[in-house]
């Protein structure tokens, strides 16, 4: 946890952003795997973490805007709990760690909320994403679970996003710690990559490194020779000479802050000419995004600039044709990169997206496109100092998508489909870094950058 003063200041700032009412922030509960006592590894709700910092299940935070008070609610441990778990701090002792002087039971919470509702006070809550939380909210607020989404507080959503998306110094230090672990994960994978080893062996080692650093994976790693499948979570393959291995993986610190990096490496240790040609285009797009990222510039415009680099590079190879700018505008280049350039990152690897991408990645000035590829961009609005975003361009040769477009004669003015057939077994390449937007530009969120140029990747693999 951070110091109690940090959480106290965050809650005070949140109260000032709302005019009145009661803010209800439930933490997560344990989730059973196959029977009640056998549970998944616990992960606290990130909004609860941000304002209260406690990483234990069963806690609920209430911030009273009108009365300028905070309270934490949870049930005390029973003797049976203590027999199995050993001595535990009381609810009040836990609350003190977050700078909260008032504590109560869940029964008292229900009474508090019931009183507020009877008095006509607004109870602000965020969109719930877990079934157990939905059932709790339904019982406390008297709203059917399927109707909860109709009553979420848009004011609270906007207030939380405005605070959480701008990272403080203490958060940046955590993100840098996560990035360092990510660096160790990717450089280790490069030394492990060789013909015959299983994809699963590398995936397991990545998880071990994240856990040894005191945290966990920030998401389930992608370790695949089928990089053309954007979120390939199958680890059944054995590495084959001549193939490319795409590794998209990140770490989460003990306090919940994430990293997210992607590298694509040649199983043989050396890129073929064909692989290097495509790789260098993706690398140039990655560099273009870093060059342009600064406060006041929309990430949507940076996405389009990176796509322009990709279209120009593929035209030089004869895979695309016509004007690259027009090809991007028409959406033709999205055949090769059907996803967005990046997303926000922080306490979650896709930070704040549970609150709604239209609030997190867009605003009144920047609306989401309906164009294929560009419409998948999660973060499009203007950048601000303190934003942390991923920069992850890619080029993918997806046979089913290519065949569909060819069959339906989509964008034939910009794409040479005949030449693409030679790339059906190519796979895909993605290169991803995490960047912090500063007052004058941006910087990478790591003291060490995992090898990314062709020469540096081949050198790392030679070890």
92: CATH: 3.40.350.10
CATH number of the domain residue 193 falls in = 3.90.230.10
Q: What is the pLDDT of residue 85?
A: 87
Can you give the pTM of this predicted structure? 0.95
Domain final position from 135, 164, 193: 164
Question: Each residue of 145-187: pLDDT tens digit?
Answer: 999 999 999 999 999 999 999 999 999 999 999 999 999 999 9
Q: What is the pLDDT of residue 200?
A: 97
Find, among 404, 402, 405, 408, the residue nearest to 421 by Cα. 402
Question: Each residue of 179-228: pLDDT tens digit?
Answer: 999 999 999 999 999 999 999 999 999 999 999 999 999 999 999 999 99
Same domain membership, residue 394 and residue 274: yes
Residue range of the domain that includes 145 = 4-164
Same domain membership, residue 127 and residue 231: no
Domain final position from 136, 164, 192: 164
The DSSP secondary structure of 95-157, one letter per residue, reads HHHTT---EE-HHHHHHHHHHHHHTT--EE-PPP-SHHHHHHHHHHHT--GGGGGGG--HHHH
Same domain membership, residue 130 and residue 21: yes
Mean pLDDT of 341-369: 96
Same domain membership, residue 343 and residue 215: yes
Same domain membership, residue 213 and residue 154: no
Q: What is the pLDDT of residue 447?
A: 85
Give just the sign of the alpha carbon dihedral 293, 297, 300, 304: negative
**Cα distance between residue 446 and residue 434, in whole Å:** 8
Same domain membership, residue 13 and residue 104: yes
Find, among 246, 249, 248, 242, the residue nearest to 267 by Cα. 242
Domain final position from 119, 140, 164: 164
Half-sphere exposure of 315 (CA within 13 A, CB side): 18
- What is the CB neighbour count within 10 angstroms for residue 115? 11
Same domain membership, residue 376 and residue 396: yes
Q: Residue 280 carries which DSSP code?
A: H
Using CA atoms, how far residue 408 sits from 149, 358, 401, 411, in Å, is: 39, 32, 11, 9
Same domain membership, residue 84 and residue 67: yes
Same domain membership, residue 335 and residue 319: yes
Q: What is the pLDDT of residue 390?
A: 98
Is residue 203 a contact partner of residue 189, using CB atoms and an 8 Å limit? no
Same domain membership, residue 188 and residue 152: no
CA angle 208, 57, 215 (to 5 degrees): 20
Same domain membership, residue 160 and residue 66: yes
Question: Each residue of 247-305: pLDDT tens digit?
Answer: 999 999 999 999 999 999 999 999 999 999 999 999 999 999 999 999 999 999 999 99
Mean pLDDT of 346-357: 96
Structure tokens at 249: 């993986």
Is residue 288 a contact partner of residue 211, using CB atoms and an 8 Å limit? no
**For all residues of the chain together, what is the average pLDDT?**
97
Question: Each residue of 59-97: pLDDT tens digit?
Answer: 999 999 999 999 999 999 888 888 888 999 999 999 999
Same domain membership, residue 243 and residue 319: yes
Structure tokens at 280: 């260098």
Q: Residue 282: what are its φ and ψ, rounded to 5°?
A: -65, -40
| Total number of domains in the chain | 2
Mean pLDDT of 429-437: 98
Q: Percent of the chain beyond pLDDT 90?
A: 96
Which position has the higher pLDDT, 84 or 413?
413
Q: Is the pLDDT of residue 455 over 90?
A: yes
């Amino acid at each position: 946890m951070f110091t109690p003063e940090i959480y106290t200041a965050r809650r005070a700032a949140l109260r000032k952003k709302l005019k009145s009412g009661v803010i209800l922030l439930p933490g997560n509960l344990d989730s059973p795997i196959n029977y009640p006592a056998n549970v998944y590894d616990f992960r606290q709700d990130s909004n609860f973490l941000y304002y209260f910092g406690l990483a234990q299940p069963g806690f609920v935070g209430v911030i009273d805007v009108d009365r300028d008070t905070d309270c934490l609610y949870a049930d005390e441990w029973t003797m049976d709990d203590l027999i199995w778990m050993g001595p535990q701090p009381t609810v009040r002792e836990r609350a003190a760690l977050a700078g909260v002087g008032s504590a109560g039971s869940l029964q008292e919470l229900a009474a508090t909320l019931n009183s507020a509702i009877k008095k006509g006070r607004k109870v602000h809550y965020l969109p719930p994403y877990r079934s157990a939380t939905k059932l709790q909210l339904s019982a406390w607020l008297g709203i059917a679970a399927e109707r909860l989404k109709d009553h979420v507080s848009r004011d609270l959503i906007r207030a939380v996003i405005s605070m959480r998306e701008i990272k403080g110094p203490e958060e940046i230090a955590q993100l840098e710690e996560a990035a360092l672990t990510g660096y160790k994960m990717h450089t280790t994978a490069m030394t492990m990559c060789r013909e015959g080893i299983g994809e699963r062996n590398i995936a397991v080692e990545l998880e071990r490194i994240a856990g040894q650093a005191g945290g966990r994976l920030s998401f389930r790693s992608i370790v695949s020779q089928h990089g053309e499948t954007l979120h390939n979570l199958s680890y059944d393959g054995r590495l084959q000479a001549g193939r490319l291995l795409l590794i998209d993986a990140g770490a989460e610190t003990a306090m919940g802050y994430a990293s997210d990096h992607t590298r694509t490496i040649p199983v043989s240790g050396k890129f073929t000419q064909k692989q290097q040609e495509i790789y260098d285009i993706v690398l140039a797009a990655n560099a273009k995004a870093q060059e342009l990222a600064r406060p006041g510039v929309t990430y949507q415009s940076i996405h389009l600039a990176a796509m322009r680099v990709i279209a120009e590079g593929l035209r030089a190879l004869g895979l695309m044709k016509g004007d690259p700018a027009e090809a991007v505008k028409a959406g033709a280049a999205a055949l090769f990169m059907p996803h967005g350039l990046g997303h926000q990152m922080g306490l979650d690897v896709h930070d704040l997206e549970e609150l709604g991408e239209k609030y997190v990645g867009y605003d009144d000035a920047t609306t989401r496109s309906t164009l294929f590829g560009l419409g998948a961009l999660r973060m499009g609005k203007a950048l601000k100092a303190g934003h942390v975003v991923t920069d992850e361009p890619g080029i993918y040769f997806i046979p089913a998508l290519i065949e569909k477009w060819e069959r339906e004669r989509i964008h034939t003015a910009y794409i040479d489909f005949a030449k693409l057939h030679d790339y059906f077994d190519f796979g895909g390449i993605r290169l991803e870094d995490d960047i912090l937007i500063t007052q004058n530009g941006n910087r990478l969120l790591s003291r060490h950058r995992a090898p990314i140029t062709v020469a540096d990747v081949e050198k790392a693999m030679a070890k």
